Structure 1
Amino acid sequence: MISLNEGIAVDAAHSVKNRKTEFRGVDLKTGKTLFYSDLGNQTINIGEFLAIVEAVKYIIEHDYQPKIIFSDSNTAISWFKNKRTASGKRNAKLMKAEIYLRAIAYWIDEIQVVKWDNKAWGEIPADFGNK
């Protein structure tokens, strides 16, 4: 059974006005922000995908338990599972993320990525509140 009180919640935000895409990861147990990144002008899907990849890195580097990541983005979860994006925008961060996922496939197979159900559970705790 999945607990909504443990794991890492990730989310991204994109502002067309400010031409800024950012993402972050939040520890569900403590509410503490574990990581944050400003990507410049990208897309929301790129931000969501890179947030998942950053959460994977965090789990591996810190032996974080439980090995579970929550994201409300079907697209990012699909890209993660395929270890490849379908974005027409190509940049170094995306390419590095894809290579990283393929290189550490053995370790990430034990990391669970779960779709956060905003309707049933409310906004994901990593949400930027920009809506």
Structure 2
Amino acid sequence: MAKKRKFYVVWQGKRTGIFESWADCRAQISGVAGAQYKSFETFEMAKKAYNGNYEDFKGTTKSKSKTLSPEELARIGEPNLYSISVDAASSGNPGIMEYQGVDTQTKQVLFKMGPFAQGTNNIGEFLALVHGLAFLKEKKSDRIIYTDSRIAMGWVRKKKCQTKLAKTAKNAALFELVARAEQWLQKSSYTTTIVKWETKAWGEIPADFGRK
């Protein structure tokens, strides 16, 4: 019987990301004090975990993948459709990356950037969120903005893209965009409310590229 495929998330290690073999994962955590990693049965689960916090996923996978109870769904409520949603997709870590922002209700694409060579999903999520903030400010819109990435939310709060990805000739243009985004955060103010998209309750974020 064929061995079931697993995906390994490394939140803290020599390199972070999603790896498709235990050997690759082990290479990133070997000798690293306080390494944070976990295996998942599907890429979708791994992506959600990588975009979240280690503390939320270090328990059993089953407890995190169960269906929400009616009480939990009622507490979360429905998404605010007077909003825009942003998301990114990367073919690898690093890999070809792109991001977009859409109208949450109609899924009309409001902006789309890429593809960029040697990017990561986290960088894309960060750029998408900053682009969305700038877009709404330019339009003088009071809509909220949804993202499914807690990492991107944290980076925006810190006004810094805290990626460990190395800058190369191939991704130099991407890093220029990152620098511009950081500069915008440093020099600009915004009143837009950033909200975490509740994937478990609402399904994939409307800006999702559908490449699971």
TM-score computed with the length of structure 1 as normaliser: 0.88
Q: Is the 8 A contact 1:14 1:44 kept in 2?
A: yes
What displacement does 1:20 show?
1.0
Task: Give the whole-Å Cα distance in 2 for the aligned partners of 1:63 and 1:29.
Answer: 19
Equivalent of residue 75 in structure 1, options 126, 144, 151: 151
Q: Find the counterpart in structure 2 of residue 100 from structure 1.
A: 184
| Deviation by residue 1:83-105 (Cα, 9 ceiling, x = unmatched) | 1121123521111111110100x
What 5-or-longer segments of structure 2 have no aligned partner? 1-76, 168-174
SS in 2 for 1:36: strand
Q: Find the counterpart in structure 2 of residue 41 from structure 1.
A: 118
Q: Find the counterpart in structure 1 of residue 80 from structure 2.
A: 4
1:77 partner letter: M
Equivalent of residue 61 in structure 1, options 132, 138, 141: 138
Equivalent of residue 90 in structure 2, options 7, 11, 14: 14
What displacement does 1:124 show?
0.2
Q: Is the 8 A contact 1:9 1:126 kept in 2?
A: yes
What 5-or-longer segments of structure 1 have no aligned partner? none
SS in 2 for 1:29: coil
SS in 2 for 1:31: coil
Equivalent of residue 52 in structure 1, options 129, 133, 148: 129
Q: Find the counterpart in structure 2 of residue 112 from structure 1.
A: 193
Q: Find the counterpart in structure 2 of residue 124 from structure 1.
A: 205
Equivalenced residues, count:
127
When Rg is computed on C-alpha atoms for both structures, the one with the higher figure is 2
Task: Give the whole-Å Cα distance in 1 for the aligned partners of 2:88 and 2:112.
Answer: 10
Q: Is the 8 A contact 1:22 1:40 kept in 2?
A: no
Q: 1:2 to 1:79 in 2, by over 3 A?
A: farther
Among all aligned residue pairs of Structure 1 and Structure 2, give the percentage whose two residues are the same amino acid: 38
Q: Find the counterpart in structure 2 of residue 30 from structure 1.
A: 106
SS in 2 for 1:41: strand
Q: Which runs of 4+ in 1 moved over 4 A?
A: none
SS in 1 for 2:90: strand
Q: 1:42 to 1:2 in 2, by over 3 A?
A: same
Task: Give the whole-Å Cα distance in 1 for the aligned partners of 2:92 and 2:107.
Answer: 28
TM-score computed with the length of structure 2 as normaliser: 0.56
**Structure with more contact order per residue of length (Cα contacts < 8 Å, sep ≥ 6):** 1
Task: Give the whole-Å Cα distance in 2 for the aligned partners of 1:23 and 1:32.
Answer: 14
What displacement does 1:2 show?
7.9
